[in-house]
Amino acid sequence: MKAAIYGRPNSQNISEYTRTLFQKLDDISADIYIHEPFYIFLKQEMGIKDSMKIFNSHIDLNKEVDFMLSLGGDGTFLETLTYVRNLGIPILGINTGRLGFLANVAKNEISNAIDALANKKYSIEQRSMLAVSFPDKLFGEVNYALNELTIFKRDSSSMITIHTFINGDFLNSYFADGLIIATPTGSTAYSLSCGGPLIMPGSQNFVITPIAPHNLNVRPLVLSDSNIINLKVESRSNSYLATLDSRSEIVDSSVEITLKKADFHLNIVKLENQNFFNTIRNKLLWGLNKRN
């Protein structure tokens, strides 16, 4: 088995669980590729061995890598997209962070998770993504997102106006602090905290969720991901902030953004005991009786 490992160089990843991961991979004689900054950090802090291959970009990986292991929280998981890109490498998220919708393998389940990979006791879940199709170089080569694109106001306390069009037809002018365009995967992230609905993976939808809208009658809208969305922004500061998952750009107000469904999907490893309903029930504490 060939496994690539990505993590952030921080204190959360100096633990017995990180040692367990590398020991377990060594036990099954896995070929390990590790992100170089993470490798240097772990070598200094934990003294891991020298026999691993390193990678610094997607060019250093290939389709022969069986899995990408993300060690951290959901933010770390999203960062792996810049390395996996359209290679189709399945990602398994090991949660050393907090909530963990995407990184949903608990630290104490690492050994069982690696055994499941080695014994092929897993399935692959395909997640749709959105892409900025215009301007196509706004976010460089990584112009796609698993969770969402968000438009924010900046440099002013005043709201911005986001004129929104669907397939060229005018939808609405959102007077708000910002606007979120989320995928089903992103429906459990920022969109959820702004009142957006939960959407099951595979639903082939986008959700448009305003951030603190001035008009209280404006509500999130679910639409098919076959639609093309255009955004035109008016701002007193003549610019606005656009984020694509964890990446951000300051954009001139004259720039219009066009979004569509990405032409490739992300593969996520789903172990036998994992499903969407279990995840949201456990992470959102559904059914937990706090009255006793």
- Percent of the chain topping pLDDT 70: 99
Q: What is the mean pLDDT of the chain?
A: 92
C-beta separation of 148 from 178 below 8 A: no
Q: Residue 208 and residue 258: Cα distance in Å, rounded?
A: 14
Identify whether 74 is a catalytic site residue.
yes
Where in the chain is CATH 2.60.200.30? 130-261
Residues 148-196: tens digit of each pLDDT: 999 999 877 889 999 999 999 999 999 999 999 999 999 999 999 999 9
Q: What angle do CA 137, 140, 146 make, to 5 degrees?
A: 105
Q: Residue 199 and residue 13: Cα distance in Å, rounded?
A: 31
Question: 0.75 cut: is pTM over it?
Answer: yes
Q: Which two tokens stand for residue 274?
A: 């994992």
**Mean pLDDT of the region 100-127:** 92
C-beta separation of 212 from 157 below 8 A: no
Choosing from 50, 60, 66, 74, which is the catalytic residue? 74
Query: Which contacts of 80-85 are long-range, i.e. CB under 8 A and separated by 24 or more positions?
Result: 80/6, 81/142, 81/144, 81/145, 81/146, 81/245, 81/266, 82/58, 82/142, 83/4, 83/6, 83/35, 83/55, 83/57, 83/58, 84/58, 84/266, 85/58, 85/142
Nearest Cα to Cα of residue 6 among 66, 62, 54, 63: 54
What pLDDT is recorded for position 136? 84
Where in the chain is CATH 3.40.50.10330? 2-128+265-283
Q: Is the pLDDT of residue 261 over 90?
A: yes
Measured torsion, CA atoms of residues 208, 214, 219, 220, in degrees rounded to the nearest 10 = 20
Residues 217-238: tens digit of each pLDDT: 999 999 999 999 999 999 988 9
- For residue 276, the tally of other CB atoms under 10 A from its CB is 17
> Under CATH, domain 2-128+265-283 is a member of which superfamily?
Probable inorganic polyphosphate/atp-NAD kinase; domain 1 (3.40.50.10330)
CA distances from 157 to 55, 86, 235 (A): 42, 39, 11
Q: Residue 211 and residue 177: Cα distance in Å, rounded?
A: 5
- Percent of the chain topping pLDDT 90: 73
Q: Is the pLDDT of residue 259 over 90?
A: yes
What pLDDT is recorded for position 181? 98
Residues 16-31: tens digit of each pLDDT: 888 899 999 999 999 9
> Under CATH, domain 130-261 is a member of which superfamily?
Probable inorganic polyphosphate/atp-NAD kinase; domain 2 (2.60.200.30)
The sign of the dihedral angle between the CA atoms of 48, 54, 57, 62 is negative
